[in-house]
């Protein structure tokens, strides 16, 4: 099933896919190198990973036209692992990450994405953009003025070259930036850092190799704490990107297949000496912009990347880091959601807080998984708080029978339980108390126990307590709403609102 | 859904064959007294890119700008396609009314034809479609590229029109003695569609086998009250014999089963249905 794709997914857009694949391959090379440097491994690890992941997801992924490769989000999570345990443990972690993602795909955990709110997604991409930018800073500190000039002119080329009529939109400007800056550096014989200084480039095609780590519990203890966040972040970014591509192309994707595809791709990458990766927001946008729609463009991006790297390795090692930094700053600018500044004024404070907390946690910990976790948690709390306002209690007193009747209306659950209890007047000395729950909804055990508490308190003061409509109110406690998802059942439970 | 509520559906694409498709659909609808739906689908081909910008860079809010750009250009294009679709459908409507059928249901849908038909298959009784779409409309030796996969993905009867409409008087039933074709004979025997038509029952096989097979089928039709049955047993390559017979006996409509074998079988041995689709000299009514 994973191998089956519609014919049109492969062959529906051949010409544009080939061109887009080429553009993406050219853009992937600097990124793969830059992300390898972030992770602290040789550029070849990221380049092999990008090849394997792009090719595999082209075939087994759930979203045609999406580009997956070595990514910054994943690289950031590996830094300490590589530093403390070395490359072989990184490869083993990559395999485990893949296995976790495949499992998630089969358990259909992709649907958990619905708990990740819009603000968290915005926080995620903003944090990612900031981290990618921050990762460039070491290349820009303590260097000669040449590097600043180079980087700035690189950015100038990237953004101004497309404005040239005719050729501007047919040659990728990041490529022009790299070629021009490399040429200048070579001509002027500038003494600045180049890609070759950062470690080995691939000199052969990738080879199959099993990570050289002992198969013991100790190994698992080392790699599991890295593999889990890697798997989570990989799936998060991939599913977010898939949604973006869905929107751009007005087509659907198979999210669970994408989870499995990412897993298979990572296992493939780990076995070929590559690091873990996932879908890339920036590259996928570039792909769509360049006309890529089908699986062919993703496949070609991977294949062309490898061919270029293996055969042009000598030239690539001459690329000045300044050119790479310029490209990565562009990626960072393109990833950041600038509209979110404008939105700060319009969005409610709670969602702004969720967005900014997500950004802060990620930038603080360099762990996107943690940021998303905190963001989702915060968003849920805000939501619970909001809903808890949807509850009020009104009462009337009947002098003849010396009876006080409370009418509870709205949502009673952990967050509104205190408010619920506080609504009763325990000081009032009356003969009888009626609590009408017909228009109330009890969502959890907390609400039931607070009702019990209120009833006991009232009874201790000598009042006879009568409850009306408890069954109706507590019918919402049941966990499995699935049984009740027919409109008439929902009407029954939510009736009166 | 009962048979009576199910539709005759005519797929219109504005090509030369669309008029014939309308005519055949009206003929069917009048004979079985069923409702008729004219359908035109606007296939946007989301799998192909229309704008290409190879500048390869990402700027401030590139994603939003790209979405905005794609959306607005698609909006303009789709508006035109919508207008075009409406006028094609209107032309078909006029044709159908001219043919004497009042109030066909007009249906304009977004999406690919096959996808749309598969979604609507529950309401489908007989589908009428032209053998060639717009792309091949002048190449009479070719059939539409998607015709075969469309027939395979539907499980209802399909009438494939090839040329201008000619009221069917002589029909040919291609019979091979299989369980499916026996079922088809039962179906034909009891359907109002074929009443009063002159019927040629043709079987291509070894002489003895063919003769005995035909006898069975003819008896079935006769007990159902059919009188005018001409039977023929032919020897040779099935599709060639059938096509020759169509010409020599002035057949107006050929009735046969379709794609009973798996794709793998057809891949190795070649599909009889595919050959008939390509070589037939009359419209085909494919029974399923």
Strands (E), A205-319: 277-279
- Helix, strand and coil content of chain B, in percent to the nearest 5, comes to 45, 20, 35
The CATH number covering residue A483 comes to 3.30.750.24
Closest CA–CA distance from residue A19 to any residue of chain B (Å): 8
Same domain, A249 and A328: yes
For residue B252, the SS3 value is coil
Residue A41 DSSP one-character state: S
What local confidence, expressed as pLDDT, does residue B190 receive? 84
What local confidence, expressed as pLDDT, does residue A495 receive? 57
Residue A231 placed within a domain:
yes
Q: Which residues of A touch B52 (CB under 8 A)?
A: 16, 19-20, 290-291
Same domain, A344 and A407: no
Same domain, B98 and B217: no
Name the residue facing A286 among B45, B49, B56 (closest C-beta).
Answer: B56
Name the residue facing B57 among A173, A288, A338 (closest C-beta).
Answer: A173
What local confidence, expressed as pLDDT, does residue B51 receive? 83
- Can you read off the two tokens belonging to residue A338? 């600038």
A402 conformational bin, left if phi > 0, alpha if psi -120 to 50, beta if neither: left
For residue B198, the SS3 value is strand
Contact B55 A175 (CB under 8 A): no
ipTM given for this complex: 0.85
Residue A162 placed within a domain:
yes
Name the residue facing A293 among B47, B55, B74 (closest C-beta).
Answer: B47
Q: Which residues of B touch A13 (CB under 8 A)?
A: 47-49
Same domain, B277 and B209: yes
Mutation target to probe the B interface, by most B beta carbons within 10 A, among A18, A27, A289 is A289
Q: What is the pLDDT of residues A263-307, one digit of tens each?
A: 999 999 999 999 999 999 999 999 999 999 999 999 999 999 999
List all residues of chain A from 56 to 75 with a beta carbon under 8 Å from chain B.
Answer: 64
Number of domains, chain A: 2
A320 to chain B, any CB pair closer than 8 A? The answer is: no
- Decide which of B161, B186, B213 is a domain's last residue: B161
The CATH number covering residue B106 comes to 3.40.50.620
Total-model pTM: 0.87
Residue B55 placed within a domain:
no
Residue-number span of the structural domain to which B120 is assigned: 7-46+81-161
Same domain, B151 and B189: no
Question: CA B166, B171, B175 angle in degrees (round to 5)?
Answer: 145
- Among A376, A448, A453, CA closest to A413: A448
Does residue B37 contact residue B5 with C-beta atoms inside 8 Å?
no
Number of domains, chain B: 2
Contact B52 A248 (CB under 8 A): no
Residue A2 placed within a domain:
no
Same domain, B32 and B153: yes
Closest CA–CA distance from residue B71 to any residue of chain A (Å): 8
A158 to chain B, any CB pair closer than 8 A? The answer is: yes
What local confidence, expressed as pLDDT, does residue B213 receive? 85
- Decide which of A380, A404, A424 is a domain's last residue: A380
- Decide which of B161, B185, B217 is a domain's last residue: B161
Closest CA–CA distance from residue B275 to any residue of chain A (Å): 23
Q: What is the pLDDT of residues A303-340, one digit of tens each?
A: 999 999 988 888 999 999 999 999 999 999 999 999 99
Same domain, B242 and B261: yes
Contacts of B262 (CB under 8 A, 6+ apart): none
Same domain, A334 and A188: yes
Residue B66 placed within a domain:
no
Same domain, B40 and B139: yes
Same domain, A371 and A451: no
- The residues pairing with A466 across neighbouring beta strands, listed in sequence order, are A434
Residue B1 placed within a domain:
no
- Name the stretches of chain B with pLDDT < 50: 1
Same domain, A337 and A421: no
Residue A324 placed within a domain:
yes
Residue-level length of chain B: 288
Closest CA–CA distance from residue B259 to any residue of chain A (Å): 20
Same domain, B15 and B147: yes
Residue A267 placed within a domain:
yes
Burial category of B274 from C-beta neighbours within 10 Å (exposed 0-12, middle 13-18, buried 19 and up) = middle
Same domain, B246 and B148: no
Same domain, B156 and B15: yes
The Cα–Cα gap between A143 and A149 comes to 11
CA nearest to A9 within chain B: B47
Name the residue facing B48 among A27, A161, A293 (closest C-beta).
Answer: A293
What local confidence, expressed as pLDDT, does residue A483 receive? 44
Same domain, B241 and B278: yes
The Cα–Cα gap between B216 and B176 comes to 11
Same domain, B157 and B175: no
H helix or E strand, kind and range, residue B9: strand B7-11
Per-chain mean pLDDT for chain A: 91
- The residues pairing with A282 across neighbouring beta strands, listed in sequence order, are none
Does residue B195 contact residue B221 with C-beta atoms inside 8 Å?
no
Q: Which residues of B touch A339 (CB under 8 A)?
A: 61, 64
Residue A1 placed within a domain:
no
Does residue A102 contact residue A264 with C-beta atoms inside 8 Å?
yes
Same domain, A311 and A410: no
Residue A347 DSSP one-character state: S
Residue-number span of the structural domain to which A443 is assigned: 389-494
Residue A122 placed within a domain:
yes
Mutation target to probe the A interface, by most A beta carbons within 10 A, among B44, B45, B46, B54 is B54
- Decide which of A351, A380, A409 is a domain's last residue: A380
Give, rounded to a whole angstrom, the gap between the first and last alpha carbons of chain B. Answer: 18
- Decide which of A360, A380, A400 is a domain's last residue: A380
A71 conformational bin, left if phi > 0, alpha if psi -120 to 50, beta if neither: beta
- Can you read off the two tokens belonging to residue A305? 């990347």
Size of interface A-B (CB pairs under 8 A): 109
What local confidence, expressed as pLDDT, does residue B281 receive? 87
CA nearest to A7 within chain B: B47
Question: CA A100, A225, A218 angle in degrees (round to 5)?
Answer: 100
What local confidence, expressed as pLDDT, does residue A484 receive? 44
Same domain, B24 and B107: yes
Q: Find the DSSP H helices in B158-199.
A: 179-190
- Name the stretches of chain A with pLDDT < 50: 481-484, 497
Does residue A405 contact residue A436 with C-beta atoms inside 8 Å?
yes
Does residue A87 contact residue A292 with C-beta atoms inside 8 Å?
no
Same domain, A208 and A349: yes
Q: What is the pLDDT of residues A151-200, one digit of tens each?
A: 999 999 999 999 998 888 889 999 999 999 999 999 998 888 999 998 88
CA nearest to B71 within chain A: A248
In sign, the C-alpha dihedral spanning A443, A444, A448, A450 is: negative
Q: Which residues of B touch A286 (CB under 8 A)?
A: 56-58
């Amino acid at each position: 099933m994973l191998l089956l794709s519609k014919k049109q997914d492969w062959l529906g857009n051949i010409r544009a896919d080939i061109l887009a694949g080429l553009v993406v391959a050219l853009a992937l090379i600097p990124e793969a190198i830059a992300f390898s440097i972030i992770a602290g491994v040789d550029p070849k690890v990221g380049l092999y990973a990008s090849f394997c992941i792009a090719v595999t997801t082209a075939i087994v992924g759930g979203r045609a036209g999406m580009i997956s490769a070595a990514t910054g989000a994943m690289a950031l999570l590996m830094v300490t692992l590589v530093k403390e345990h070395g490359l072989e443990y990184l490869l083993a972690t990559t395999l485990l990450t893949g296995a976790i993602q495949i499992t998630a795909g089969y358990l259909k955990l992709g649907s958990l994405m619905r708990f990740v709110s819009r603000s968290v997604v915005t926080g995620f991409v903003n944090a990612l953009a900031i981290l990618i930018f921050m990762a460039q800073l070491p290349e820009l500190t303590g260097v000669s003025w040449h590097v600043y000039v180079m980087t700035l002119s690189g950015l100038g080329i990237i953004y101004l070259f497309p404005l040239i009529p005719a050729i501007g939109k047919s040659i990728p400007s990041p490529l022009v930036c790299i070629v021009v800056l490399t040429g200048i550096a070579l001509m002027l014989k500038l003494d600045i850092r180049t890609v070759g200084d950062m470690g080995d480039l691939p000199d052969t095609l990738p080879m199959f190799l099993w990570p050289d780590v002992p198969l013991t519990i100790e190994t698992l203890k080392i790699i599991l704490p890295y593999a889990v966040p890697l798997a989570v972040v990989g799936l998060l970014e991939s599913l977010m990107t898939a949604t973006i591509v869905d929107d751009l192309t007005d087509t659907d994707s198979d999210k669970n297949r994408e989870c499995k595809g990412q897993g298979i791709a990572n296992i493939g990458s780990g076995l070929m000496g590559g690091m873990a990766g996932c879908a890339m927001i920036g590259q996928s946008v570039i792909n769509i912009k360049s006309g890529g729609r089908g699986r062919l463009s993703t496949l070609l991006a991977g294949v062309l990347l490898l061919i270029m790297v293996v055969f042009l390795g000598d030239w690539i090692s001459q690329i000045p880091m300044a050119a790479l930094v310029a490209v990565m700053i562009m990626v960072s600018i393109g990833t950041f959601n600038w509209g979110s500044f404008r939105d700060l004024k319009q969005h409610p404070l709670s969602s702004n807080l969720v967005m900014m907390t997500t950004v802060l946690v990620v930038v603080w910990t360099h762990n996107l998984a943690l940021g998303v976790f905190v963001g989702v948690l915060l968003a849920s709390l805000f939501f619970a708080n909001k809903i808890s306002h949807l509850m009020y209690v009104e009462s009337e007193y009947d002098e003849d029978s010396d009876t006080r009747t409370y009418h509870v209306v709205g949502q009673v659950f952990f967050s509104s339980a205190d408010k619920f209890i506080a609504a009763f007047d325990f000081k009032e000395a009356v003969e009888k108390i009626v609590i009408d729950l017909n228009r109330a909804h009890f969502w959890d055990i907390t609400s039931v126990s607070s009702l019990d508490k209120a009833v006991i308190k009232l009874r201790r003061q000598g009042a006879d307590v009568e409850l009306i409509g408890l069954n109706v109110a507590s019918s919402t406690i049941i966990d499995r709403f699935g049984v009740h998802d027919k409109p008439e059942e929902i009407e029954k439970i939510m009736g009166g609102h | 859904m009962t048979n009576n509520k199910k539709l005759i559906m005519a797929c219109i694409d504005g090509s030369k064959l669309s008029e014939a498709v309308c005519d055949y659909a009206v003929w069917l609808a009048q004979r079985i007294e069923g409702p008729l739906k004219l359908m035109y689908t606007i296939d946007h081909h989301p799998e192909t890119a229309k704008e290409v910008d190879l500048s390869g860079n990402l700027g401030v809010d590139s994603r939003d700008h790209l979405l905005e750009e794609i959306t607005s250009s698609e909006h303009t294009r789709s508006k035109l396609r919508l207008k075009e679709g409406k006028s094609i459908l209107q032309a078909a409507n006029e044709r159908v009314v001219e043919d004497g059928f009042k109030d066909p249901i007009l249906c304009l849908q977004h999406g690919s034809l096959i996808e749309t038909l598969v979604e609507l298959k529950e309401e489908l009784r007989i589908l009428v479609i032209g053998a060639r779409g717009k792309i091949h409309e002048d190449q009479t030796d070719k059939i539409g590229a998607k015709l075969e996969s469309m027939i395979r993905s539907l499980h209802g009867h399909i009438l494939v029109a090839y040329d201008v409409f000619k009221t069917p008087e002589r029909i040919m039933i291609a019979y091979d003695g299989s369980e499916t074709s026996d079922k088809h004979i039962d179906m034909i025997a009891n359907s109002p569609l074929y009443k009063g038509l002159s019927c040629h029952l043709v079987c291509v096989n070894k002489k003895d086998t063919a003769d005995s097979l035909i006898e069975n089928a003819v008896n079935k039709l006769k007990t159902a009250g059919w009188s005018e049955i001409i039977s023929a047993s032919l020897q040779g390559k099935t599709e060639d014999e059938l096509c020759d017979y169509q010409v020599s006996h002035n057949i107006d409509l050929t009735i046969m089963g379709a794609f009973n074998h798996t794709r793998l079988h057809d891949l190795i041995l070649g599909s009889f249905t595919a050959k008939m689709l390509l070589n037939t000299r009359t419209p085909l009514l494919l029974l399923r």
